[in-house]
Amino acid sequence: MLRSASQNVTPSSLDIGQPLVRCVSCDRNASGGETDFRCAGCGDILEIRYSLLERGARLPQSDIDALRSAWTRRKTSNAPEDQSGVWRFRELLPILADARICVTHREGNTPLYPLPRISRALGLPKLLAKHQGMNPTGSFKDTGMTASISVAREKNFSWVACASTGNTSASMAAYASRAGMNSFALIPDGQIAWSKVAQALDYGAHLLQLKADFDGCVRVLAEVVRKFPVYLVNSVNPYRREGQKTAAFELMEQLEWHVPDHVIVPGGNLANSSAIGKGFAEMRELGLIEKLPRISIIQAEGANPLARSMSKNGGRSLEPVHAETRATAIRIGNPALWKKAVDALNETAGRCEDVSEDEIAIAKAEIGAEGIGCEPASATTLAGLKKLLRSNLMQPDESVVLILTGHTLKDPEYALEFHRDGHFAAQSAEAARLRRPPLAMDADSGAVIRELEKLAH
Ligand code: F0G
C-alpha cells in the first residue's frame, strides 16, 4: 500500500507484509548496507520476499475480486501512481512508503498484439506479443527503473549508476533526471546501438565508454559502488526486478486471468525472465491464477551461457562465455541472474534455447512486417518459438505470448543492414522474400508506376 495514494484497497488480508531482502543462496537477511546488492555472507545476489507469501497464504475470492477491479479502475484515474502500469499493482509491490516519492513516466500499460501473418504461417492460431518496447523510453527497463529510482529517492541518493548494453542506461537517465538525480553509465565502447547512446545523453546521463564488454563494465561498476556513494540500478538491484514482475500481472489482466500455455522471453542478464517468473509465482501463491505458464528463455547462439548450462548440466553450474552477437542488447556472457532463471525454467517446465544470427534477423523482419517491429534481441523470442515447434517441444494448439522487450527504433541500423545492405541471412529464401531494399530512381511518375506494377506482381 502507498501512503497518500489516490485509490487504495484496504482489506487486511491484502497486506502482503514488509519486504524482506534475502540472499537467493544462503537465505541470509540483508543488512541494508550492501551497496553492490551482493550477500555479505556468500556473495550471491539478493531478492525480495514478503512475509505473507512466505507463509503461503491464499487470498479469499472477495479480495481477489477487489484487487482485480481496483487495478483496472486505476487506469482511468488522473493520479500518476494510478496511471503507472507498475504502481497500479502496488498491493503486490509494497516497497515504497509514500506515493509522493514515486518517480514515474507512466510506464507499463503496454499493448498485447495478435500477429496474424506469423500465426497463419506457423499454424499457431493462439499467438500474441506483449510489446514492452512500447514503454516511455522504448524498452521494458522502465518498469523496473520506476521502482529502483523511487527507492533511490527515498534513500536520498543524489547519484545513480548502471553498466549497460544501452537500454538500461537510457531508462536510468530518463528516470534519474525526472527525480533530480545525477546518473552515469558504464557502457562497452563501440558495442551498443547508437540510438541508445543518443537517448541516454539526451535524457541527461554521463556516459563512460570502457574498453571492455558488458561483463567487464559490470565488474568495474561493482568496485566503484563500494567506494563512491552511488546507488546501483543494474538488475542485481532487487527493487528493479520487483517493478519488472508487474509485466506478468498486466499480461494476466489483459488475458482476463486466463493463463497462457507458454510465455517466451529473451535472455541476457536473465533478470527479466526471473522477474516475470516471480510475478507468476506470486500470483499463484495468492490464488490470483491457478497454474503457471511454461516460461521459456531464448538466447543468441553467440551469447548462450544459460542454454549451454541447461543442456550440459541441467543448470547446476554456469560457465561464462565471451559473448558475441549483433543483438547487442543481449551480448552478455556472464549473466548475474542465472540461478533465478534456472528456477523459473524448472518451476514452469520451460525450455532454454539458443538461435542463430540469421534466425534472429528473419524473425525481426517478420515482426516488422506485422507493423509493430522490435529490436533484434526481442526477435529471439519468435526465432526460439519456431525452434520449439520444429523440435516438437510445443504443440500448435498452445496459447503463446512472446515478450518483445525493445522498440524497433532502438537499433535502426540493423533494419537498414537487413533491407538495404542484405547483411543477414544472405543465402536464405525466407530472407529474400522479406527483404525490401529502398530503390533510388528519377523523379518521374512513369518510373514510379513501372516500379509499382513490378511490386504488385
Ligand atoms: N531485450 C532487450 C531489448 C534488452 O535491452 C535486454 C537487456 C534484454 C532483452 C535482456 O534482458 O538482461 O533481463 O535478460 N538489456 C540490458 C541493458 C542488459 O543494459 O540494457 P535481461
- Report the SS3 class of residue 453: helix
Q: Which residues of the chain have pLDDT under 70?
A: 1, 10-13
Strand 127-131 with 112-114, pairing: antiparallel
Q: What is the pLDDT of residue 1?
A: 63
By most ligand atoms within 8 Å of CB, the mutation choice from 132, 145, 162, 167 for ligand 1 is 167
* Distance from the first to the final alpha carbon of the chain: 60
Region at 189 (left for phi over 0; alpha for psi -120 to 50; beta for the rest): beta
* Alpha carbon of 134 to ligand 1 centroid (Å): 15
CB 29 within 8 A of CB 220: no
* Alpha carbon of 287 to ligand 1 centroid (Å): 30
* Alpha carbon of 255 to ligand 1 centroid (Å): 25
Ligand 1: atom nearest CA of 268 is 14
Region at 416 (left for phi over 0; alpha for psi -120 to 50; beta for the rest): alpha
CB 34 within 8 A of CB 40: yes
Distance CA 68, CA 143 (A): 19
Distance CA 229, CA 35 (A): 9
Residue entry with cell 548440466:
313
Bridge partners, 185 (sequence order): 162, 207
Distance of CA 204 to the CA centre of its chain: 22
Strand 294-300 with 46-50, pairing: unpaired
The model carries a pTM of 0.97
Ligand 1: atom nearest CA of 270 is 14
Atom 15 of ligand 1: nearest residue by CA position: 329
pLDDT tens digits along 436-445: 999 999 999 9
* Alpha carbon of 342 to ligand 1 centroid (Å): 17
* Alpha carbon of 375 to ligand 1 centroid (Å): 11
* Alpha carbon of 272 to ligand 1 centroid (Å): 8
* Alpha carbon of 400 to ligand 1 centroid (Å): 21
Ligand 1: atom nearest CA of 378 is 1
Atom 10 of ligand 1: nearest residue by CA position: 268
Q: Which three cell numbers stand for residue 219?
A: 565488474
DSSP secondary structure code for residue 406 in this structure: B
Residue entry with cell 529471439:
380
Ligand 1: atom nearest CA of 269 is 12
Q: What is the pLDDT of residue 178?
A: 97
- Report the SS3 class of residue 275: helix
Atom 19 of ligand 1: nearest residue by CA position: 164
* Alpha carbon of 6 to ligand 1 centroid (Å): 33
pLDDT tens digits along 235-289: 999 999 999 999 999 999 999 999 999 999 999 999 999 999 999 999 999 999 9
User: Which residues sit with their C-beta closer than 6 Å to ligand 1?
Assistant: 139, 141, 164-168, 235, 266-273, 329-330, 375, 377-378, 405-406
Ligand 1: atom nearest CA of 406 is 3
Name every residue whose Cβ is closer than 8 Å to that of residue 128 and which is 6 or more positions away in sequence.
Answer: 112, 113, 114, 115, 260, 399, 400, 401, 402
User: Would the CA dihedral through 133, 134, 137, 142 be positive or negative?
Assistant: negative
If one counts every other C-beta atom within 10 angstroms of the C-beta of residue 412, the result is 13
Question: Cα angle at 210 between 206 and 211, to 5 degrees?
Answer: 160
